[in-house]
Amino acid sequence: MKLSGQIEFKFKNMEAYLHVLSPQGVTREYVDGLNRERLFLETKPDTASLASQMEYVRGIEEDSARVICGLWCGGELIATAGGQRLNAAGAEVPTIGIFIFNETFRGQGWGKVLVWAMCHFLVNELGVASVQAAMKKENLSSKGSFLRVGFEVISQDALYHYLELKAKNLVQPDEVVS
Ligand SMILES: CC(C)(COP(=O)(O)OP(=O)(O)OC[C@H]1O[C@@H](n2cnc3c(N)ncnc32)[C@H](O)[C@@H]1OP(=O)(O)O)[C@@H](O)C(=O)NCCC(=O)NCCS
């Protein structure tokens, strides 16, 4: 899905923005991050290349049910958030997934900022009323990123927690100035 909107803000005094990622926006850092990630990314290829990831992003651009956004900090693409129209059960509820490429950017609050910015974007650009997400139970930083901005746990099974945000409950993180 191609959308032209952008969410601009400062986080801990750093300039940041989120908007739709184009195939030309795919970077080596993104691809290297995918190839390093072993634990929690469920839909990633065994080995990504610049060309295969550009093709993946091009496919999303042409799909009216999916969107992928990039998060830029100081002009550098540091993370992506992917959204799709249907949840895991096939219901018409937008769901999102998040990924910060480099471990050095993790654990500083960027995860919750990424979730906030993506949800803000989906609410503003697509007018969504709720958003869902799922993560492995042991993925505490992912779960924390969603809980901190207003998501609530709605169900669980042996492996996963399932969370939902009502758009009116979206909370802007304290350190974000928009
Ligand atoms: C998931 C991911 C985006 C989280 O990003 P992050 O920058 O590490 O997360 P944050 O620093 O914003 O942490 C968010 C909250 O989780 C909580 N948290 C983080 N690690 C935690 C831990 N080990 N135990 C308990 N809570 C934790 C923190 O309290 C934090 O909130 P706070 O800053 O208000 O205290 C990042 O770790 C990542 O890209 N991981 C690999 C891919 C992945 O797992 N994607 C999600 C798939 S479902």
Please state, in angstroms and as integers, the Cα–Cα distance from residue 109 to each residue in 86, 113, 164, following that order: 27, 6, 20
The answer, yes or no, to whether any atom of ligand 1 lies below 6 A from the CB of 48, is: no
Q: Is the pLDDT confidence value at 172 over 90?
A: yes
For residues 120-128, give the mean pLDDT: 95
How do strand 14-20 and strand 6-11 relate by DSSP bridges?
A: antiparallel
CATH assignment at residue 131? 3.40.630.30
Strand partners, 134: 162
Confirm whether 108 is domain-assigned.
yes
Confirm whether 1 is domain-assigned.
no
Confirm whether 67 is domain-assigned.
yes
* Å from CA of 62 to ligand 1 middle: 30
Domain count, the chain: 1
132: CB partners within 8 A, 6+ apart? 87, 93, 94, 95, 96, 154, 162, 163, 164, 165
Q: Distance between CA 97 and CA 132 in Å, rounded?
A: 9
For 144, the domain range is 6-177
State the greatest distance between any 2 C-alpha atoms of the chain, in Å, as a whole number: 40
Confirm whether 100 is domain-assigned.
yes
pTM: 0.96
Residue 29: per-residue pLDDT: 97
Confirm whether 102 is domain-assigned.
yes
Confirm whether 136 is domain-assigned.
yes
* Å from CA of 139 to ligand 1 middle: 8
Pocket test for ligand 1, best of 77, 138, 145 (most atoms within 8 A of CB): 145
Residue 167: per-residue pLDDT: 97
Question: 């195939």: which residue's tokens?
Answer: 23
Q: Is the pLDDT confidence value at 129 over 90?
A: yes
The answer, yes or no, to whether any atom of ligand 1 lies below 6 A from the CB of 101, is: no
Give the total residue count for the chain: 178
* Å from CA of 148 to ligand 1 middle: 10
**What would the pLDDT profile of 12-31 be if each residue is shown by its tens digit?**
999 999 999 999 999 999 99
**What would the pLDDT profile of 64-103 be if each residue is shown by its tens digit?**
999 999 999 999 999 999 999 988 788 889 999 999 999 9
Residue nearest to atom 19 of ligand 1 (CA): 141
Confidence bin at 178 (pLDDT 50/70/90):
confident
Confirm whether 151 is domain-assigned.
yes
